[in-house]
Structure 1
Amino acid sequence: MAIKFDQQKTKQQLFHLSISLATVLVCMTYMQFRRNWAHVGKFWESFIIPIVFTGELLKVILARYCGRLETSNLTAKQRQKKAAYFSAREIFGGLLMQFLCTMLYAFICIILGAPVLQNYEQTFVLAMVLTLMTVSPTVFLLGGGGSLQVCFCEKVEFLTKSEEISLDLFKYNAVGAIFGAWAGSVVAPLDWDRDWQVYPIPNVVGALLGCGLGNIYACSKVLYSTAKVYYSKKRS
């Protein structure tokens, strides 16, 4: 029996992953261009946060574009509930949720060894980068209420097919960024005396590289599934 191939789904997945990998590549190219990596931990001197924000926003726009005709498949009640999650109150709730997640990441960084009274700006930048790579995409896509349901592992009733695809791919960003930031701490205590060992440079770079590796893994899964369908059709 030939495996069914969903061309639209595959296109969205590949475009989504391409945006993720391009975001990481642009960030790394920008840091290399600046040469002095000390700017990475500076909120007003670095473009890392705007670049990551733009990349995540583009992925949400892609999901909206791919699903522009799918909302007609939702019931009137589901459409009404979906619209309610993008009211002014829910938008404020989404912003508050991202702020609280940033504070939580900053607290975790401090618990794991970041200075409490020093380098607070660097800790905030790292926490904000992690928030943008983990929580923010879901907030941008589903609003405050929908993202809260996802965080508590509840089923969101109004999801379209394109939104489900994006949510499935967002997890590679999140897992890769968290593990990458944690793994980046390994080089900090080494006595190499390199400028890029200064906190939070290894953690930010680790989050970016972890995000990139996560998306490469997801891309390999998509390409493998596509190749499997192609050879299945060729044999039949």
Structure 2
Amino acid sequence: MVSRFDQQKTKHQLFHVSLSLATILICMTYMQYRRNWAYLGNFWDSLVVPIVFIGELLKVVLARFYGRIEDGVLTVKQRQKKAAYFTARELAGGFTLQFLCTLLYAFSCIIFGAPVLGNYEETFVLSLLMTLLTVSPTVFLLGGGGALQVCFCEKPDFVTKCEDTALNLFKYNALGGILGAWAGSVVAPLDWGRDWQVYPIPNIIGALLGSAMGNIYACTHVLYATARVYMTKKRA
């Protein structure tokens, strides 16, 4: 039996991964251009957070572009429920959810060894970056209420196939970012005397590289599935 090949889904996945990797590449190029990485933890002097924000927003726009036709398959009740998740109240709820997640990441940074009585700005920048890599894309896509349901492992019933694809890709991005930020903290206590070992530089770089690795894994998975379908059709 020949597996069904969803060309639109595959294109969406590959463009999504390409946007993710392009965002990380731009961040790394910018960091190399600045050379002095000590500014990475400064909110006003670093462009890493705005670059990541724009990249995540573009991925949501991409999901909207591919899902514009699928909205027609939703029932009237599902459309009303989806529209209700983008009211002013829900948008405020989405902002609150991201703010609380930023506080949670800041608390986690302190638990894992970040200075308690100093480096407030650095901890805030790292926490904000982690929120952008994990929670914000889902909030941008589904609104505050929909994102909250996803956080509790429950997808809203109005999620289309295209949005479900985007959510799965967001998962790789989030897991890679979290594991990368955690792995980056390993080099901080080592007695190498390098300037890039200063908190939160290794954590920010680790989060970006981890996110890139998560997206590379997703891309490999998509290409493998595509090649498998192609070979199955060729044998048939």
**Does TM-score exceed 0.5, indicating one fold?**
yes
- Structure 2, gaps ≥5 residues long: none
CA distance in 2, matches of 1:155, 1:56: 20
Which deviations, in whole Å up to 9, do the C-alpha atoms of 1:105-145 show, x marking residues without a partner? 00000011000111110000000000000000000000000
Whether the 8 Å contact between 2:79 and 2:158 is mirrored in structure 1 is: yes
Check if 1:203 corresponds to 2:203.
yes
1:82 equivalent in structure 2 = 82
CA distance in 2, matches of 1:34, 1:195: 14
Question: How much identity, in percent, do the aligned residues show?
Answer: 72
Classify the secondary structure of the residue corresponding to 1:58. Answer: helix
Between 217-226 and 153-162, the greater mean CA deviation after superposition: 153-162
Report the Cα offset of residue 157 of structure 1.
0.6
2:178 equivalent in structure 1 = 178
Report the Cα offset of residue 190 of structure 1.
1.0
Report the Cα offset of residue 155 of structure 1.
2.8
CA distance in 1, matches of 2:155, 2:46: 38
Classify the secondary structure of the residue corresponding to 1:186. Answer: coil
Check if 1:146 corresponds to 2:146.
yes
Question: How many residues align structurally?
Answer: 236
Classify the secondary structure of the residue corresponding to 1:187. Answer: coil
Paired AA for residue 25 in structure 1: L
CA distance in 2, matches of 1:107, 1:190: 23
CA distance in 2, matches of 1:219, 1:153: 24
Which deviations, in whole Å up to 9, do the C-alpha atoms of 1:156-178 show, x marking residues without a partner? 11011110000010001110000
Report the Cα offset of residue 223 of structure 1.
0.2
| TM-score, length-scaled by structure 1 | 0.99
Whether the 8 Å contact between 2:146 and 2:155 is mirrored in structure 1 is: no
Which deviations, in whole Å up to 9, do the C-alpha atoms of 1:26-74 show, x marking residues without a partner? 1111101000001100000000000000000000000000011111100
Aligned residue runs from structure 1 range 60-79, under 5 A: 60-79=60-79
Aligned residue runs from structure 1 range 160-171, under 5 A: 160-171=160-171
| TM-score, length-scaled by structure 2 | 0.99
Report the Cα offset of residue 191 of structure 1.
1.2
Paired AA for residue 62 in structure 1: L
Output the aligned Cα RMSD: 0.5
CA distance in 1, matches of 2:89, 2:184: 38
Check if 1:25 corresponds to 2:25.
yes
Classify the secondary structure of the residue corresponding to 1:32. Answer: helix
Whether the 8 Å contact between 2:42 and 2:122 is mirrored in structure 1 is: yes
Q: Which 4+ stretches in 1 moved above 4 angstroms?
A: none
Report the Cα offset of residue 181 of structure 1.
0.2
1:158 equivalent in structure 2 = 158
2:234 equivalent in structure 1 = 234
Whether the 8 Å contact between 2:138 and 2:147 is mirrored in structure 1 is: yes
Aligned residue runs from structure 1 range 128-147, under 5 A: 128-147=128-147
1:191 equivalent in structure 2 = 191
CA distance in 1, matches of 2:212, 2:6: 25
Whether the 8 Å contact between 2:102 and 2:124 is mirrored in structure 1 is: yes
1:124 equivalent in structure 2 = 124
Paired AA for residue 52 in structure 2: V
Paired AA for residue 234 in structure 2: K
Paired AA for residue 229 in structure 1: V
Check if 1:112 corresponds to 2:99.
no
2:221 equivalent in structure 1 = 221
Paired AA for residue 38 in structure 2: A
Classify the secondary structure of the residue corresponding to 2:186. Answer: helix
CA distance in 2, matches of 1:153, 1:213: 23
